[in-house]
Amino acid sequence: MPELPEVETIKQDLKERIVNKQITSVLLSKKAIIKNKRIDFIKEIKNNKFTDILRIGKLIIFVLASKKYMLVHLKMTGQLIYQQGKDIIAGGHPEPDLEKLPNKFTRIIFEFKNGSKLYFNDIRRFGYMQIVDEVGLNEIKNKFGLEPIDKKFTFEYFQKIFENKNKSIKVALMDQDKIAGIGNIYASEICFEAKIKPARKAKNLSIKELKALYLASKKVLQVAIKNRGTTFSDYVDATRHAGYNISFLKVYDRKGMKCKRRDGGIINKIILGGRGSFYCPKCQK
């Protein structure tokens, strides 16, 4: 699943291509997941424009000229694909044959006045779209915590999240209602950067350890955004290039490999919150 750095990259790249282009039609497949009545969704989008693209956590927010908002969540296998002539760019989960559009995984198609198209593909159909007004948008925003890259994300805010929490540190980092945007990959990387084992209880961290974790959460995401996100088998950015942050990852998906720190050991894998978690048993305490 794309996390904050990947979704930020998609947002920025699509923003350069579709903002202020008139939408002439919207095509919905029977398997499209729309959290509105289909007729209302189509009526709101057709002949409208996206005037901006925003993001909160992993949620992409397309601002409409009609003062409504189209929410898009890619979830596990969603992908946004922009096509203009023979040029195709994609962000999210890469399909095997992007040149063949639409394909059996295409759920929604937006057609623009200049002939370009935006496809929403989703293999497992966990992703969705939804039109909301400003009140609805604010209600959804209130369900998210602050992002580590937000100026309001202070150490005091971070400290309160971990007070008396009996959860593991890694699981606490992934609570979207407390901290928005951190998923499985970057939670492992943040714990490694802070030299703290991901399985430790959040409530047992010292002030020194909390500060290290706080700084690590900001640093790891900032580096990942700069590197345009992480790519494995399920993510390409909106210019259809693999994000190259994968070469900077220290522990994620490196089970059995030597730690990149000189004093490190062999990377282990454990399960926390139902997800694979990677850490170095020697340099993470």
Q: What is the pLDDT along the chain (285 residues), one digit of tens a residue?
A: 678 888 888 898 899 999 999 999 999 999 999 999 999 999 999 999 999 999 999 999 999 999 999 999 988 788 888 888 877 777 776 555 566 888 889 999 999 999 999 999 998 889 999 999 999 999 999 999 999 999 999 999 999 999 888 999 999 999 999 999 999 989 999 999 999 999 999 999 999 999 999 999 999 999 988 887 765 444 455 555 555 556 688 999 999 999 999 999 999 999 999 999 999 999 999
Task: Report residue 219 as tokens.
Answer: 């640093």
Q: How many helices (H) and strands (E) does the chain have?
A: 7, 11
Among 3, 6, 147, 193, which one carries the catalytic annotation? 3
Dihedral angle over CA of 209, 210, 215, 216, nearest 10: 70
Overall residue count recorded for the chain in this entry: 285
Told to judge if 275 belongs to the known catalytic residues of this protein, a careful annotator would answer: yes
| Entry pTM | 0.86
Told to judge if 58 belongs to the known catalytic residues of this protein, a careful annotator would answer: yes
Told to judge if 262 belongs to the known catalytic residues of this protein, a careful annotator would answer: no
Q: In the chain, what is the straight-line distance between the N-terminal and C-terminal CA atoms, in Å?
A: 28
CATH architecture of 155-279: Orthogonal Bundle (1.10)
Omega before residue 281 within 30° of 0, cis: no
Query: Which fold does the domain 4-141 belong to in CATH?
Result: N-terminal domain of MutM-like DNA repair proteins (3.20.190)
Contact 250, 205 (CB under 8 A): no
Told to judge if 156 belongs to the known catalytic residues of this protein, a careful annotator would answer: no
Among 17, 200, 260, 275, which one carries the catalytic annotation? 275
Contact 251, 284 (CB under 8 A): no
d(CA 157, CA 146): 9
Contact 258, 278 (CB under 8 A): no
Among 2, 5, 94, 198, which one carries the catalytic annotation? 2
Among 49, 58, 117, 170, which one carries the catalytic annotation? 58
H helix runs in 106-151, sequence order: 134-141
For the chain, what are the domain ranges?
A: 4-141, 155-279
